[in-house]
Amino acid sequence: MREMQFAYQMQQNCRVNSEATRTCNITDADFASVAMPGGGPQAQIADIPPAEKCIGQVVLDWEFIHDLDLHLLKVTTKHQGKGSGKGGGYFQNPEPNPEPSPVIDSMDAVPDLNTLISPETNELQLDSIHQLKTVVFHGNKVCSAAGSDTPQAVLQLDRNAGVHSHKPVENLYLTDKLEPGIYVVGVHNYSQRQLQENVIATTGGRYTSFEEFKKADPGYQLMEKALSNQNAHASDEDGTPEKVAIMTKVDRDMAEGSRMLQGKCFSGNGSHGVHYGVTVYTYPDQAVEPMHPQTASCEALQNLFKSEFFATADCVFNPEANPTGYNAANVLAGTTTADGVKGLSHGRAAHVALLKVAKDGETGKARIEEVKVLRGMSRADLAGEGGATAPGNAMNMFRMQTLQGRAQTLAEPCPEPNMQMRSNSSAQVQQNGPQFQQMQSPQMPQMLPPQTQMPPQAQVPVQRVSQMQQQWQPQMQLPPQVQQQPRLQQQTQMPPRTFSNPFDHARMAAAPARATTAPPLAASAMAPLSQLSPATFGAASASVPATAPIVSGSSVPQVSLSTFIRR
């Protein structure tokens, strides 16, 4: 089983590399500079921290066009953290420049992880003096560090809100500037997009099977061709006009294909959810050649990096352990069954891991002391201690009444961060000064007609407050530190970016020369992840033992791992 999990982790890294090359080669005009409440310019653009500054990385992936989100929260005492608490969670807006915590400067001050875990359920349990404070999420993708250019944490890839993929992946970096304490890795199903029942059905459906759907549906085929084009040019030199044009077209085709598919989807109900996998990497304390997991060889990934793995079910990484035929499109996880109980239905969330971070007494740098994987059961929100939805958010209640039973086609509240610095956006905010005190009213997101009425027990609030129509105003005013910032003006004409991929510096001297034309990857090489084994990676993974047979009909090419990795 460990060998299959390792093969799955390798494929997660391939996804990160493939999606990162698209991100760093899209023209600036394709990124809308939209400020988030409390996030300001931080929520827009971020660099990938250098490997020598990183102490950890979290990678999340799943299948199809659902919009899952990765969150980092911190356990704090209730006198810490302005604006935090059980009523917050993933719909809270942290301060743009949070003050450093006044406590936990030594190992003795960091609580034992076991004191925060229920021995009966292996779930997070908080006592009366602790709460969760949001650190990084889709609305605040960078957590700055006081007095340093290196941030504490960065959410780099964010998929299926503004940047789309049917093979999505998200990741966040933790650096040596991270404040000591206990951190929680959370996952939230912001928007479930499962195919309507009449799309695939043996009688009366547009398609009789999922295989026929993948081959014939226009939207899915558009995304498949875009993904194949992305993989075929992933090894091309970054920043050239040719690659920028290719990746820009890939991004637009992905967005159009996703839009077409979302027209055939609805948000489902609480009885069906989405499976996913999460890997938590701990970087080596002292490495001769610092590197990210995505640039490491199989041997280095196994020997230098510590990793903890979580999956909602064995079918995530083992195709043979899929008795229900889960495919994330029209067959989802049955949340009332033993195999699918951890699947996340629309609006639900889960705590999947705890991280203990301490500060080195000599160097003053943060380090990850311990990681514990939790049970990861579905819950109503990330910040609340129990399963009940956090009360007191009138905006969310209004949105719930508006969006019940409707497919979610909301735009990303802010574009995913890329490799560009944020100086221009920051300078614009500083230059305009006081006139940016009032938030401009955003456009009302286009909604699809209702497909089905959700039962009361499945009705959940949608937490991305910034996308709400501003004509309705909540009664409670936001405190000054989280007042909404104005929408920044997007540049209509921007030259293509000409910068190197952040993984380029990690090229190995022994790596073979790149071919004149990069060998294209079949779309099946990226889908589904569980259908891949270590044999997929060729000679580079020769040290990995064989896994369960690949699902019948899979056409995964035998390609060296070096082909996948962006150096």
Report the pLDDT value the prediction gives residue 416, as an integer from 0 to 100: 53
Over range 94-113, report the average pLDDT.
53
Q: How confident is the model at residue 361 (pLDDT cuts 50, 70, 90)?
A: confident
Q: Would you tell me how many other CB atoms lie within 10 Å of the CB of residue 380?
A: 16
User: What 3-state class would DSSP assign to 157?
Assistant: strand
Q: How confident is the model at residue 501 (pLDDT cuts 50, 70, 90)?
A: low
Question: Using DSSP, how many helices (H) and how many strands (E) does the chain show?
Answer: 8, 15
Query: Does 414 or 353 have the greater pLDDT score?
Result: 353
**pLDDT tens per residue across span 415-439:** 555 444 434 444 443 444 444 344 4
Q: Is the pLDDT of residue 14 over 60?
A: yes
**pLDDT tens per residue across span 42-86:** 334 567 899 999 999 999 999 999 999 999 999 998 865 444 333
Report the pLDDT value the prediction gives residue 28, as an integer from 0 to 100: 54
Bridging pattern class, strands 306-311 and 142-143: unpaired
Q: Is the pLDDT of residue 113 over 50?
A: yes
Q: How confident is the model at residue 383 (pLDDT cuts 50, 70, 90)?
A: confident
| Residues recorded for the chain | 567
Over range 233-259, report the average pLDDT.
95
The helix (H) or strand (E) run that includes residue 243 is: helix 241-262
Number of domains into which the chain is organized: 1
Over range 136-154, report the average pLDDT.
93
Over range 156-184, report the average pLDDT.
96
Per the structure, the complete domain to which residue 102 belongs is given by 2-564
**pLDDT tens per residue across span 257-302:** 999 999 999 999 899 999 999 999 999 987 778 999 999 999 999 9
Q: What is the DSSP letter of 488?
A: P
Nearest Cα to Cα of residue 406 among 263, 516, 306: 263
Question: String of b and e for 93-125 (b: at least 16 CB within 10 Å)?
Answer: bbbbebeebeebbeeeebeebeebbeeeeeebe
- Listed in sequence order, the residues at least 6 apart from 354 whose beta carbon sits closer than 8 Å to its beta carbon are 113, 116, 117, 124, 182, 183, 184, 185, 371, 372, 374
**pLDDT tens per residue across span 19-51:** 999 988 986 545 543 333 333 333 345 678 999
Report the pLDDT value the prediction gives residue 1, as an integer from 0 to 100: 84
Q: Is the pLDDT of residue 499 over 70?
A: no
Report the pLDDT value the prediction gives residue 503, as an integer from 0 to 100: 55
Report the pLDDT value the prediction gives residue 127, as an integer from 0 to 100: 85
Query: Does 496 or 4 have the greater pLDDT score?
Result: 4
Which range scores top for mean pLDDT: 323-337, 474-488, 526-540? 323-337
Query: Does 117 or 94 have the greater pLDDT score?
Result: 117
Tokens of 134: 């949001």
Nearest Cα to Cα of residue 39 among 367, 414, 366, 289: 414
Nearest Cα to Cα of residue 51 among 231, 302, 304, 237: 304
Report the pLDDT value the prediction gives residue 171, as an integer from 0 to 100: 96
Q: Is the pLDDT of residue 180 over 50?
A: yes
Q: Is the pLDDT of residue 446 over 50?
A: no
Report the pLDDT value the prediction gives residue 26, as an integer from 0 to 100: 84
User: What 3-state class would DSSP assign to 175?
Assistant: strand
CA distance 43 to 78: 26
**pLDDT tens per residue across span 523-560:** 444 444 444 444 443 433 334 343 333 333 333 344 44
Report the pLDDT value the prediction gives residue 80, as an integer from 0 to 100: 55
Beta strands in 305-388 (DSSP E): 306-311, 333-334, 349-359, 366-373
Q: Is the pLDDT of residue 106 over 70?
A: no
Nearest Cα to Cα of residue 410 among 186, 191, 182, 122: 191
